[in-house]
Structure 1
Amino acid sequence: MKTSVLARNHVTVLGKGTQPMLFAHGFGCSQQMWRFITPAFEPNYRLILFDYVGSGASQTSAYNAERYANLNGYAQDVLDICSALDLTDVIFVGHSVSCMIGLLASLKAPERFSRLILIGPSPCYLNDATGYIGGFNRQDIQELLVTMEKNYIGWANFMAPMVMNDPSQPAMTEELNQSFCSTDPVIARQFAQVTFLSDNRPDLAKSTVPALILQCSDDLIAPIEVGTYVHQHLPDSQLKLLKASGHCPHLSAPFQTILAMNEYLQESLNGAGL
């Protein structure tokens, strides 16, 4: 199983430390998106990077529409990797949809995780009648999914600038666009539907793993109201507002992201008396 899981998800292991830090990329991305962040942690941690099935250099042949019909299938992939590498005391670093995937994994096997670092988390992308602000109306999402079916390249060209939301970094926007375009359109369409139509708000209160929420100050995908909601409903969580635009601060503002992560981890060590 170990070999098949590591190949399936194109798992990469780096670093000179012993405590595992598991990086989980967002929708339409790959483990390459972490390259500005990981060097800062290589000296002190054991870094594990991977690609979700259908993304990056994963084995697309392993894709199963039934398994990945909801986020639990992706959470099981995370646990499969933890099992294959016998990981415990894991610091899980998730971006975007991976934040909820990591949360679900930690609910299934809390003994494997010591901390969650959630970059741009959203438990529900849809606004609803209760006054919850997710950032999108249902019609917006339905139109987005239809566009993905009819004109996937056009969708990618529209979505990448919206996600990055930083005109000063056109190269990053183009990289994200190319990443979207390199993903299998059929798999991407289903992953998008699962991502944008999931509602994991009830799962927040069940968490027993301490968490850091990193929220960008100007994020069109996960507005500040979403980060605040997650913080208010996720036990033992801290919210850090980054002075960064867009939904990908690990690409657009890596220094800020590294600093916030290091401060949180150092506080955790001090709190443990280490």
Structure 2
Amino acid sequence: MAKRLNARAAGTGARAMLFAHGFGCDQNMWRYVAPAFEQDFQTIVFDYVGAGASDLTAYDPQKYASLEGYADDVVALATELGISDGVFVGHSVSAMIGLIAARKAPGLFSTLILVGPSPRYIDDGDYVGGFSEDQIVELLDFLDTNHLGWSQAMAPTIMGNPDRPELSEELAASFCRTDPEIAKRFARTTFMSNNRADLGPIDARVLILQCRDDVIAPESVGAFVQQSIPGSELVLLDANGHCPNLSAPAETIAAIKAFV
């Protein structure tokens, strides 16, 4: 599994810290954050099947039609690497993937860092996810018909920080490197997901990192996740957009270090 997911380890610590990237990204998104923990942890970055330098031939549309398939890979990777009592750091959709993985295999991860999590992107009754169902359908239709155009249009919205266009350009380039067919399927799996039932009590310490002005995971969602996981902590970063691992790495590092 480590080879399939292009997993790479660094650091000298006895305890493992596994970093998982979000939709349309790869392990490179953690390059400003993961090295800060190499003194105290064994840090591991990887690419989901279909992303980065993973084994594209291992992609199974049926398996990866739900986040469970990705969570199974996280469990298999962590088990193969002998991780126990580890720290899972998941950005965006990986926050929910990590939560599912921790429930599937208690003992692998005793600490979960959820960066910009969203258990449901679509508004539903009193629940405010940030998008109407029509908006999500329109977003997915756009991606289906014009992968390149979608990447260039959505990257600035997702990244925020309009005064730093190089960040949006990097995200757009990352989107464009993803296999278009796999990207379409992963987007549908991500944005149509409803993982609110995966919240609730869990035998792990949980930190939620929330950004200001995050279009993908607004503050109401961060508050919902915190209220739904007893004992979890919510930290509002003084950063905007959905990718603080790129736009505000120092603040992201500081928040994680204060928790672990």
Q: What TM-score results when the alignment is normalised by the length of structure 2?
A: 0.99
Report deviation, 1:208.
2.1
The CA deviation string for residues 119-145 of structure 1, in whole angstroms up to 9 with x for no partner, is 00000000012x110011111111111
Q: Is residue 240 of structure 2 the alignment partner of residue 245 of structure 1?
A: yes
Distance (whole Å) between structure 2 residues aligned to residue 122 and residue 239 of structure 1: 13
Alignment gaps of 5+ in structure 2: none
CA contact under 8 A between 2:212 and 2:236: conserved in structure 1? yes
Q: Is residue 151 of structure 2 the alignment partner of residue 156 of structure 1?
A: yes
The CA deviation string for residues 30-80 of structure 1, in whole angstroms up to 9 with x for no partner, is 000001101210111000110000001101110000110100000001011
Residue in structure 1 matching 2:212, options 217, 220, 223: 217
| DSSP-derived class of the 1:220 partner | coil
| DSSP-derived class of the 1:111 partner | coil
Report deviation, 1:189.
0.6
Q: What TM-score results when the alignment is normalised by the length of structure 1?
A: 0.94
Distance (whole Å) between structure 2 residues aligned to residue 127 and residue 164 of structure 1: 21
Distance (whole Å) between structure 2 residues aligned to residue 257 and residue 21 of structure 1: 15
Q: Superposition pairs for residues 12-31 of structure 1, below 5 Å?
A: 12-31=8-27
Q: Give the corresponding residue for 1:268.
A: none
Q: Is residue 195 of structure 2 the alignment partner of residue 189 of structure 1?
A: no
Distance (whole Å) between structure 1 residues aligned to residue 55 and residue 237 of structure 2: 35
Alignment gaps of 5+ in structure 1: 266-274
Distance (whole Å) between structure 2 residues aligned to residue 60 and residue 79 of structure 1: 19
Q: Give the corresponding residue for 1:180.
A: 175
Residue in structure 1 matching 2:139, options 129, 144, 152: 144
Distance (whole Å) between structure 2 residues aligned to residue 218 and residue 147 of structure 1: 23
| DSSP-derived class of the 2:236 partner | strand
Distance (whole Å) between structure 1 residues aligned to residue 180 and residue 159 of structure 2: 20
- The Cα RMSD (Å) is 0.8
Q: Is residue 243 of structure 2 the alignment partner of residue 254 of structure 1?
A: no
Report deviation, 1:207.
2.2
Q: Give the corresponding residue for 1:93.
A: 89
Q: Superposition pairs for residues 224-243 of structure 1, below 5 Å?
A: 224-243=219-238
| DSSP-derived class of the 2:142 partner | helix
Task: Give the aligned length.
Answer: 260
Q: Give the corresponding residue for 2:5.
A: 9
CA contact under 8 A between 1:157 and 1:177: conserved in structure 2? yes
Distance (whole Å) between structure 2 residues aligned to residue 230 and residue 116 of structure 1: 13
CA contact under 8 A between 1:161 and 1:173: conserved in structure 2? yes
Moved over 2 A (4+): none
Q: Give the corresponding residue for 1:43.
A: 39
Distance (whole Å) between structure 2 residues aligned to residue 252 and residue 110 of structure 1: 32
Distance (whole Å) between structure 2 residues aligned to residue 207 and residue 160 of structure 1: 33
Distance (whole Å) between structure 2 residues aligned to residue 91 and residue 157 of structure 1: 33
